[in-house]
A and B are shown apart, each in its own frame.
Chain A
Amino acid sequence: MARAAATAQPAAATARLSSLVNDSFARAIFYQLLTAAILVGGIWYLISNTIANMSQRGMAAGFDFLDYTAGFNIVFTLIPYREGDSYFRVFQVGIANTLLVAVIGIVLATLIGLVMGLARLSTNWLIRTMARWYVEILRNTPLLLQIIAWYFGFFNLLPVPRQSFDWGGAFFLNNRGFYFPAPVPQDGFGWTGVALGLAIVASVAIHRWARRRLEATGQSFPSVLSGVGLIVLLPTATFLATGSPLEWDIPVLRGFNFRGGLSVPPTFCALIVALAIYTSCFIAEIVRAGIQSVSHGQTEAARALGVKPSRIMRFVILPQALRVIIPPLISQYLNLTKNSSLAIAIGFPDLVSVWMNTSLNQSGRAIPIVAMTMAFYCAVSLSVSLLMNLYNRRVQITER
């Protein structure tokens, strides 16, 4: 009896141990603790090494350099900047420039991509074939080379300022950039802005009301048309009523180049065009795949129900195609934003070029500068991902 108990005890212990080993919960805890230990150990190891290395090599660290004078010229800044400004200002300039490129690039890429995507589905053989080769050629060469090609193959070959392309004496294009009039608001221009805001609020309200009425009664109301009309007419009327309080600063050729007005350098144009065209290839494929993903039966069913052809596209095809199109589209937008860092190849002062290249080189503070650059891109990317997930949740087909 005693012997039996003695043998039973280790057996029970083994059983308990084996049940612990086979228990998925316990195993999960173990794996996670292991990962955490490796992670913490690894990070501690890297940090301690970095500190040792930096102190030994006399490298300065910290963010104190942000207040120092940068002292170099930046060819294009969205926000005001002078040579005497601090490094932190350079960082802000870089961010503003990167965001500007991203926004304009995204708008252009979407438009071109949409056109090219539809062209790939065209019934015209030449258009279809050209669209196909447009996509194939541009998608299969590195963007870096394309940016360089656009700069040297086009924007650098434009005429010199004295022989600029001149559109109406106000818009000029030459190899120094694109020059256009700058609006200079006078007193009372604020009212136009207020009117614009009111019009937008009103049209949103109308749209909502129209939608509710459509769902409740089935009667439709041209909310889009009325909204656009409101947004255009109300501010225009206010603008005229307050006596057109806006003047234009028109660029004039003086000395080496045009002065006054607004301008963007050729590197900006080359970067925008290259980014927009390169990304448009991917967008074209996304649009094509999206439209093709809606089965033909949907169109036929809608037609059988007597829905007007213009409404089939808007209410049947597009909502379904968009569900397929939007997620990859957003990731293309993020790619475009990240790809704008290739501006370094032609020297447009985006964040990477002006901050991680020039500023790092002039100040020598590798760690804070690289960290700040990465933090910016992470912030942009993560906030877009967040919005994206919200959208996805809204449009997802609820499975039952």
Chain B
Amino acid sequence: MAESLSSRPTFADETPAPPGSRVTIAERANLGLATLQARKGQDAALRDLIQQQYGVSLPQAPAISRAGTIAFVGLGPHHWLAVADGQSHHLAPSLKAAIGPLGSIVDQSGGYVVFRVGGAAIRDVLAKGFPIDLHERAFPPGAAATTVVAHIGAIIWRNDDHDGQPCFDIAVFRSLSRSFWRWFSDAAAEFGCEVKQH
């Protein structure tokens, strides 16, 4: 089988960071991604099963719930994005095997690129492109949103703070990830942007 898209870092060879950078970005490679939709009338059964199998309570709002290396992001009513470290294309088949006929699973590991962004000035950068409020009060750790950034469809969620700085993950369609990267590089330039390897 050909090398999977999600295991090949697309943005690994970018320019190194200037000293004193106040923004960081890293591509989360080898991430397992899959959308999960409850079949008609199976919401409660699916929630019970995910709770048993993964120890996660499926969020019923735009939020992220995590247990160990797997997390579920609420995208819409009856609709979630599963995110699992290091699982790449193995996530979708294992989810399918676990939930059977209660929901529909589609592998998105090659469909999205997920960027982890952070740093002291990260909110100032994101405010240039996101039309939603990402302030501490409106978007605490665990919050998520499906929206646009610089007119590119995006899913954003906030992780726990890292080194005392806010930390977000942003998923964009792989075919638009280069456009997102260009926007981010421009928007972050004034603060100094460090490209990290994840």
Task: Answer yes or no: are A and B bound together in one complex.
Answer: no
A residues whose Cβ falls under 8 Å from a Cβ of B: none
